[in-house]
Amino acid sequence: MDINQEELSVPSEQPLVEYTLKNDHGMEVSCLNLGGIITKILAPDKNGQLENVVLNFKEKETYLENPPFFGALIGRVAGRIQSAQFELDGESYSLQANDGPNHLHGADTGFHKVVWDVETVETTDVVKLVLTHFSPHGEGGYPGNLKVKVTYSLDNDNAFSIRYEATSDKKTALTLTNHSYFNLSGNLKADIQSHELNIDSDQFVELDEALIPTGNLLDVNDTPYDFRSKQAIRVGVESSHPQNKVAGNGYDHYFVLNKKADLDIKVSEPVSGRTLTVNTEQPGFVLYTSNMLPEDLKLGDGPSKKYLGLCLETQASPASLHHAEGFPSVVLEKDEKYSKTTTFRFGVE
């Protein structure tokens, strides 16, 4: 087990450092102190070949803007907040509108823009990065002085875990996630339409034309959203289902997890044999299949295009701020401890 670090020659007000966690089997996870951005994950295929399985930029300075949020920590609230405002206990809070009239992924003061403080931890069984940040009351329009700690851990079972912890001195809204785009083909040899998913979920959230939840939870039965049995991403891309069309011919939807199966999510890539299994303490996640990824980005393994990566954004639902029933809440009470872990385990079959 090992941790390497390299200071980047990128113009920035604060020094930017890339850290690389390595286990004894060659798996690596690299990330920046900027936004906690995961820049590379090397994982083996069925022949033991180590290749990168996340989308990344060719040039590190591109992460200073990072419009697709590649690999970044997202907060204070992951997802879209309708009309860039919400109420808590009768008090209204206004946020920056950066997605039409709506607020997306924390906007300009989001955690993806923060240079985090980082500590490294090395043992014989696991290597860790501990990232910390203080977000003052009123930052980005959110209430409460917020202390945040995120721990990245890599072990010798090829499991990469992200633990999110936070406390606020005032009732606030909070749900954190990581916005990595996975592609298990390795080094972007193919898009993700042939990736197959299993999801332990009976319901997903209906979206309007602006990708804002309508307040309705839909049953997955007889829809392209039924991943309770293995199904390829291509099914949703090619579907005429109204919700796939709304999302730009693919998926950009919140799934409520049942919490009944051993695994919450499993992704398989038939050619490489790679698998990614996900277990999370979050109540659900957003599946996004890069339907709106621009085609002019210079990536580490070639040009960007639609359907090149899939995001598994484990989180609660910001729709709960505007719909009282049926949605996992993002409200954090004063002095309550926020603590959620998501584990991504890489394997082969």
- Average pLDDT on 164-185 reads 98
Q: Say if residues 7 and 16 touch (Cβ distance below 8 Å).
A: yes
Q: Say if residues 183 and 53 touch (Cβ distance below 8 Å).
A: yes
Q: Measured between alpha carbons, how far is 305 from 329 in angstroms, rounded to an integer?
A: 34
- Quickly tell me which residue has 């090397």 as its tokens: 42
Mean confidence (pLDDT) of the chain: 97
- Average pLDDT on 122-138 reads 97
Residues 6+ apart with CB under 8 A from 46: 272, 273, 274, 348, 349
Q: For 280-299, what is each residue's pLDDT tens digit?
A: 999 999 999 999 999 989 99
Number of neighbours of residue 166 by Cβ within 10 angstroms: 23
Beta bridge partners of 135: 146
Q: At 53, is the pLDDT very low, low, confident or very high (cuts 50, 70, 90)?
A: very high
Q: Is 324 a residue whose pLDDT tops 90?
A: no
Hey, what domains does the chain have and what are their CATH numbers?
2-348 (2.70.98.10)
Q: At 2, is the pLDDT very low, low, confident or very high (cuts 50, 70, 90)?
A: very high
Report, as residue numbers or ranges, the catalytic residues: 179, 313
Nearest to 112 by CA among 67, 175, 60, 82: 67
Q: Is 9 a residue whose pLDDT tops 90?
A: no
Q: Measured between alpha carbons, how far is 349 from 347 in angstroms, rounded to an integer?
A: 7
Q: Is 325 a residue whose pLDDT tops 90?
A: no
Q: What is the pLDDT of residue 150?
A: 98
Q: What is the pLDDT of residue 326?
A: 84
Q: What would the two tokens of residue 222 be?
A: 């007889």
Q: Say if residues 20 and 13 touch (Cβ distance below 8 Å).
A: no
Three-state secondary structure string covering the chain: CEEEEEECCCCCCCCCEEEEEECCCCCEEEEECECCCEEEEEEECCCCCEEECECCECCHHHHHCCCCCCCCEECCECCEEHHHEEEECCEEEECCCCECCEEECCHHHCHHHCECEEEEEECCCEEEEEEEEEECCCHHHCCCCEEEEEEEEEECCCEEEEEEEEEECCCEECECEECCEECCCCCCCCCCCCCEEEECEEEEEEECCCCCEEEEEEECCCCCCCCCCCEECHHHHHCCCHHHHHCCCCCEEEEEECCCCCCCEEEECCCCCEEEEEEECCCEEEEECCCCCCCCCEECCEECCCCCCEEEEEECCHHHHCCCCCCCCCEECCCCCEEEEEEEEEEEC
Q: Is 208 a residue whose pLDDT tops 90?
A: yes
Q: At 12, is the pLDDT very low, low, confident or very high (cuts 50, 70, 90)?
A: confident
Q: What is the pLDDT of residue 35?
A: 98
Share of the chain above pLDDT 70, in %: 100
- Average pLDDT on 334-338 reads 98
Q: For 251-284, what is each residue's pLDDT tens digit?
A: 999 999 999 999 999 999 999 999 999 999 999 9
Between 164-173, 319-328, 334-343, the lowest mean confidence (pLDDT) is in 319-328
Q: For 54-85, what is each residue's pLDDT tens digit?
A: 999 999 999 999 999 999 999 999 999 999 99
Q: Is 13 a residue whose pLDDT tops 90?
A: no
